[in-house]
Amino acid sequence: MDYNVFGAEGIVIHGDKIVLGMQKTKRWYPLENGKQAAIVKTLGGAVEDQDNNNTRNALIREILEEVEGIEEKDIKVSQSPIFTKEIKLGELNPYEENSMLKMKADFYAVEIPTNVTLKPNDLPALVEIPKDQFFKMNLSSDSLLGDIKNYVIKREEKSTIPENYAIMAPKEIKDFLMKREEENT
């Protein structure tokens, strides 16, 4: 499959939680009822020139941009990708079902120590979901924010967060995390 976007994404583990990022306001989607919805996805983004075509470098750079107060020494990234995924945006994003945009991303395991407090930097919010809740979630479907509201860390206290969201994550993330949990018990 030819793709339009190439990048890296992190399966970010912070203690017993999975960390996802809420996309910027300009990427929120208008709904038929006049409300807006946000995409919540893994941390990461497109490879840029400064990354020297290295997806691991791109991931580290993106995490440092997206999370406030974190340093590179705080981020433990797997040396190689856990898996590589090629998708059509419409397959993962319920608000863009007709999109033909194709993306390819290397997914890495990322661990951040629990003594590091995570806050969003250039994202409206981070979402820290306990693993057991994450395993029960229906990924790539739209929902009301109430389902995950207690796990949202806003950028600023008065930030506006939409009531609707969709978690845009391939099922391979759940598979990887569940297998890892089994190995650790």
The CATH number for 169's domain is: 3.90.79.10
Task: Name the maximum alpha-carbon separation found in the chain.
Answer: 46
How much is the pLDDT for 138? 82
Span 122-177, pLDDT tens digits: 999 999 999 999 998 888 777 777 778 889 999 988 888 998 888 888 899 999 99
Q: What angle do CA 47, 50, 51 make, to 5 degrees?
A: 45
- Dist CA 149 CA 144 (whole Å): 9
**Residue 19's closest CA among 164, 120, 159, 163?**
120
Residues forming beta bridges with residue 125, ordered by sequence position: 22, 154
Span 101-130, pLDDT tens digits: 999 999 999 999 999 999 999 999 999 999
Domain tally for the chain?
1
Element (H, E) at 111: strand 102-111
DSSP codes joined into one string, 166-177: EEE--HHHHHHH
Q: What is the dihedral of CA 163, 147, 90, 31, to 10 degrees?
A: -20
Strands 164-168 and 36-41: what pairing? parallel
- Segments forming the whole domain that contains residue 117: 5-184
**Residue 62's closest CA among 25, 19, 102?**
19
Span 26-85, pLDDT tens digits: 999 998 888 899 999 999 999 999 999 999 999 999 999 999 989 999 999 999 999 999
For residue 57 the two structure tokens come to: 């470098």
How much is the pLDDT for 139? 80
For residue 180 the two structure tokens come to: 């890892």
